[in-house]
Amino acid sequence: LSRSRREIPEATVWVDVDTTEMLSLRAALNADESAPKISLLALLSRFTILALRRHPELNARIEGDEIVMGPSVHLGFAAQTDRGLMVPVVRDAQASTLEQLSAALAEQTRRAREGTLGPADLTGGTFTVNNFGMFGVDGSAAIINHPEVAILGIGRIIPRPWVIDDQIVPRQMTELTLAFDHRVCDGGTAGGFLRFIADCVESPAKALRH
């Protein structure tokens, strides 16, 4: 993290997002008691993977003076444990179904808390998501997990007044934050990436259909 702060010219963008439809979709997906449960982190991670397909420059690592990009998304995610913060990695996350991704995130979280993750489980990520909303906070300028080039932060989901068709209505809102390495892309790319994820969250059924 110290190296990240020293070396990366970091910039941050954020957006308020209506999660009401995503919460409804998750409830519908989990209505079948016999089916594997889908976590909110899995849904947001899936939308992140879709966004990385459109903006592959953010699915990269800085190695020396080179930006190294690849077709695979090795998705890191911040997990709080008794041993401190860890970032387990789900490898080839782009090849997983939503159910498989949810199961992989849950399994890596369990292993992180039990202390059974090996070095290979904690290295090699190409992008990281950080659900700091679990601590009851709305936003955070997260530190990029060097040598990656970006990190997505997810705030808490709470009811707030929101304007829809000129009417103020209560909606379930969150704040998404993207910290990115300005050497890799500019604000236009970063904003487009974050806006795409926000659009997926607000119209999740349409996003998952594609």
- Residue 143: both structure tokens together: 């530190």
Active site residue 186: yes
182 annotated active-site: yes
3-state helix, strand, coil in the chain (%, to 5): 40, 30, 30
Of the residues 138, 165, 181, 182, only one is catalytic, namely 182
Catalytic-labelled residue, pool 16, 121, 138, 186:
186
Could you tell me which residues are beta bridge partners of residue 123? none
Identify whether the C-beta of residue 168 lies closer than 8 Å to the C-beta of residue 194. no
The alpha-helical segments, DSSP class H, found in the chain are: 2-7, 20-29, 40-54, 98-114, 187-202, 204-209
Distance separating alpha carbons of residues 96 and 93, to the nearest angstrom: 5
State the catalytic residues.
182, 186
